[in-house]
Amino acid sequence: MTGLDPKNAMRGADADLAADHGRAFRDRFGGQGEPRVFFAPGRVNLMGAHLDYNGGPVMPTAIDRGTFVAVRERRDGRVSLASTREGVQVDLELDRLPTARAGRWADYPIGVLREILALAEAQGTRGDGFDVLFGGNLPVGAGLSSSASICVGTAFALDALYGLGLPRVELVHAALRAERGFVGVQCGIMDPYAVGLARAGALLWLDCKDRSSEYIPIDHAQVSIAVADTLVRRELAQGMFNERVAQCRAAFDLLRRHQSDATCLRDIRFETLAAHGHELEPAPARRAHHVIEEVARTFSARDALRRGDAAGFGAEMTRAHDSLREQFEVSVPELDCLVESAVSMPGVHGARLTGAGFGGCAVVLLERGAEAELAERLVRGYERAFGRAPVVEFFGGDPGPREIECT
């Protein structure tokens, strides 16, 4: 299997990588005609941790790593799905798509295909079969949204293949419905929005209550975004994530009785929590504490960024990490080590875990020019504590899902 050469990973989603992926497609499927190659990025969230499913604001940005989707139509109503990362190819008939998940990687694109076919039908269009090869340079399970990247990438590719011309936000919703429905993951809305609506040189401000959004420029000439991967992957992470969702729900169900205008946990005011928090079980009380303060921190971080105050933004990131460790209890010693080493360095504005937690990555905002020193410091501190090195990388922004012309 060819796949993408890891050497190329730092070159970003450029035409060379897309051409490599196109070649991998031809090695896999042979036949006549070039595939079309699409790319969808991953994302890193800088503020608004565990707020999306509580109706709060989030501030993610896309990274120049993601999923390549090479696709070529066929005329026999058959669909073949392959991945450079998975051994098993899945062959299906368009007229007899599975109606239930099989617990394998192909559930994600199949779920999206079902959504796109329904949208096509609503337009009076009927798509034919295709061969598709997925690949990419985004670490899986690291909290950089590999699942939203594959789902949104599939939605964009199929929209183009079938000539549907659906608006971006419709494709984002198709990806979201696929993950929540067919795949069966109770994910929040942040990830597909962050991937689908990405714009280079900006953080996305997404208010998950009314789904309004805005772009807040980030000056990559002044600041860099580092992502340090603990390489810790917790098998129980999904279960612990679902438990947090349930605890937030429990906190809201009780607190809303004392604040009739609240429609989600994000709406609960400090005073309501202060007056009635003792009625909650200790764990839901701590979760509510995090959520309510994180909402305020995220607004404050947005204000800081709007006035060009990277240090002010970074300070909120670091406070967020403290709360994720103490109140939301989703950190692990490996993440705390990375955050502590980062924030003790001059030139670092702030650091925190990103994604759901329980392992995965920390994100660091730093002054441009301090990258080498940061990488060295993170590796040294982590090796001392855990006897192995984290993977430290610096990502550029990304303009979002697109077709890439192969040279």
Query: Which residues are designated catalytic?
Result: 191
Which one, 49 or 301, has the nearer CB to ligand GLA? 49
Site for ligand GLA in 163-202 (CB under 6 A): 187-188, 190-191
3-state DSSP: the chain helix, strand, coil percent, rounded to 5? Answer: 45, 20, 30
Nearest approach in angstroms of CB 391 to ligand GLA is 18
Residue 49 vs 392, nearer CB to ligand GLA: 49
Q: Does 49 engage in binding with ligand GLA (CB under 6 A)?
A: yes
What one-letter code names the amino acid at 124? Answer: G
Select 52 or 267, whichever has its Cβ closest to ligand GLA: 52
CB of 238 to ligand GLA, least distance (A): 10
211 SS3 class: coil
| Structure-token match 């295909």, residue found | 113
Question: How many of the chain's residues bind ligand GLA (CB under 6 A)?
Answer: 12
Q: What is each CA distance from 152 to 20, 235, 327, in whole angstroms?
A: 21, 25, 32
Q: Binding to ligand GLA by residue 355, rule CB under 6 A?
A: yes
Element containing residue 131 per DSSP (H, E): strand 130-136
Chain Cα centroid distance, residue 276 = 34
As a whole number of angstroms, the distance between CA 135 and CA 155 comes to 15
Helical H segments across 282-392, by residue range? 282-306, 310-326, 333-343, 371-386
**Three-state SS at 185:** coil
CB closer to ligand GLA, 60 vs 381: 60
Choice between 94 and 185, CB closer to ligand GLA:
185
**Candidate list 24, 251, 315, 356; residue touching ligand GLA; CB under 6 A:** 356
Please identify, among the stretches 15-23, 34-42, 46-54, 80-88, the one whose residues bind ligand GLA according to the rule CB under 6 A: 46-54
What is the torsional sign of CA 13, 34, 192, 184?
Answer: negative
Looking at residues 374 to 403 of the shown chain, list those that interact with ligand GLA (rule: CB under 6 A): none
Residue 291 binds ligand GLA (CB under 6 A): no
Query: Does the footprint of ligand GLA cover residue 134 (CB under 6 A)?
Result: no
Given the DSSP bridges, would you call strands 223-229 and 391-395 parallel, antiparallel or unpaired? Answer: antiparallel
> Which residues of this chain interact with ligand GLA, rule CB under 6 A?
45, 49-50, 52-53, 143, 187-188, 190-191, 355-356
